[in-house]
Chain A
């Protein structure tokens, strides 16, 4: 599928378990992002990546790990899930200025519930 996809779309897990959320984009965009969206908050940046093998922390990185070995994939791992990580997670990508603009394109989201 063209565009940006996330998997799984829904996930229920238990406290302490490791969970990996997947994000894949077909545009070869340089930048990729992970956000979480909670009631009462705007989208908050967890981590972002400017290119393969380059990642950086966002506003709320604690408890999360990312990697980017390939340009098209940007997985997000919760090493030991906690209830406070129950949220909707969005992945986004950005071509960068050279790509013709700074619009971030968002995936459909993953709803994660930690019991």
Chain B
């Protein structure tokens, strides 16, 4: 069964600290993996996308890694800001048109001052 598991479920960190969110997937075939950020009361917004041949991708203070052999991905947030408080969702696409996405349940990050 295609599944995406994320950990931790929730996380609280102090402003300025770094953190790493984890994503394990059992999806086949594999096309790409995205990390989405979802602010409270809003729709998800794509942060990064990685295909099978890519093992790291950065977007500002966000750096995603992918190990296609172990089927694991991580999202590292550097020097966290209050605005990073959100849910981060790992999404795997098994197909070419991106229609049948497999969503993780998300990690809720709270950044406090």
| A binding-site residues for B, Cβ under 8 Å | 31, 33, 40-45, 48, 50, 90, 92, 94, 96-97, 101-104, 106-109
Contacts of A109 in B (CB 8 A): 41-43
**Complex interface: chain A residues within 8 A of B43 (CB):** 90, 92, 106-109
Interface secondary structure of B, over-half rule: loop
Shortest Cβ gap from B103 to chain A (Å): 3
- Quick one: which of B4, B98, B102 contacts A103, CB cutoff 8 A? B98
Supposing A90-B43, A109-B41, A109-B43 touch, asked if A104 and B104 sit within 8 A by C-beta, the answer is no
- Residues from chain B with Cβ under 8 Å of A103 in the complex: 34, 46, 49, 98
A106 touching B97, Cβ below 8 Å: no
- Interface core residue of B41, B42, B43 (most chain A CB under 10 Å): B43
Binding site for A on B (CB under 8 A): 4, 31-32, 34, 41-46, 49, 89, 93, 96-106
> Do A43 and B103 touch (CB < 8 A)?
yes
Among B45, B99, B102, find the residue whose CB has the most chain A CB atoms closer than 10 A.
B99
